[in-house]
Amino acid sequence: MKHCIYIFIFFTLYSCRKDVKLKLPEYKQKVVVEASIETGSAAVVFLSYSVPYFGDFDYTAPEKSFIKGAFVTVTDGTIIDTLKEVDPNTGYLYLGFKLIGQQGKNYTIKVTVAGKTYETNTSILNPAPLDSLYFKGEQDTLGLMWQTFSEPLGSGDCYRWYAKRLGRDQFYAAPFFSVFEDKFIDGKTFDFSYDRGPQPNAIQEYRDDPERGYFKRGDTVVVKLCKIGRREYDFWNTYYQNKTSNSNPFSAPSNIKSMFDGNQEVFGAFVGYAPAYDTIIIPDTP
């Protein structure tokens, strides 16, 4: 009887096996646009080509995907700013110098690569300032940045959060899931917190940092809360959702919503940021 049971289990398990062959869609390379303009600053644009998930690409040499020789313009309807390629030998980074972002204005970007032009637009809205900042300890001298925020009445507002430690950080850094909307907080005053995001030029150092994600007593921190549009929020929100679901077989798939609507040859966003700033000097002792 025992032998029969073993044989039954063996054939049951064996019969449940089935080879599944998936036919992946043909990979089509896209132009990737990462562009922004904010109050008081000119446009910043990063251009690259997408790379295949299943394919040969040396991720230790990302410059192989950078786009050189593109023609990029940003306009507010009156002034046209032709962006300059910072390093023509490398490509990737294009900067504006003529057009400075202003609240309440609309901007259109045009990117021409290999004779094809891609276009989208954004707006710089009116900022919504934080009421106050405060530090709440979590582990010894480490903790998170908390803020009190009175969200303006009128549904549909969206935001992105950044922070920078003076004397320690080169850039304002956005943590994971740094965007939120006012769907459940419209017109309310509430407190919320964020952890410290990685510097964009030091991702590996951030991963190895034992204080990763935390602020520290003695830090002087500037928080930048940016108001953004709905399409801009949808791009970043779906970007984070997609990154969360990547390689997770139990999560629902999420497609990133590009701001280049309907164009299958280009992907990305052009985000107008309306920042409000607040600064806190975290005391050395509680």
pLDDT higher than threshold 50 for residue 9: no
Q: Looking at the structure, tell me whether residues 118 and 136 fall in a common domain.
A: no
Q: Looking at the structure, tell me whether residues 107 and 42 fall in a common domain.
A: yes
Q: Is residue 237 part of a domain?
A: no
Amino acid found at 105: K
Domain stop point among 124, 157, 180: 124
Domain stop point among 89, 105, 124: 124
Nearest to 101 by CA among 186, 44, 183: 44
Q: Looking at the structure, tell me whether residues 113 and 140 fall in a common domain.
A: no
Question: Where are the extended beta strands (E) located within the chain?
Answer: 31-38, 44-49, 71-75, 80-82, 84-85, 93-95, 106-113, 116-123, 132-139, 142-150, 158-165, 179-181, 189-194, 215-216, 220-228, 266-281
Q: Is residue 158 part of a domain?
A: yes
Confidence (pLDDT) at 240? 94
Q: Is residue 75 part of a domain?
A: yes
Confidence (pLDDT) at 8? 45
The model's pTM: 0.88
Q: How far is CA 130 from the centre of its chain?
A: 21
Q: pLDDT of 160-209, one tens digit each?
A: 999 999 999 999 999 999 999 999 999 999 999 999 999 998 989 999 99
Q: pLDDT of 69-100, one tens digit each?
A: 999 999 999 999 999 999 999 999 999 999 99
Q: Is residue 18 part of a domain?
A: no
Q: Domain residues for 200?
A: 132-229+275-281
Tell me the CATH number at 116: 2.60.40
The total of structural domains in the chain comes to 2
86: left (phi over 0), alpha (psi -120 to 50) or beta: alpha
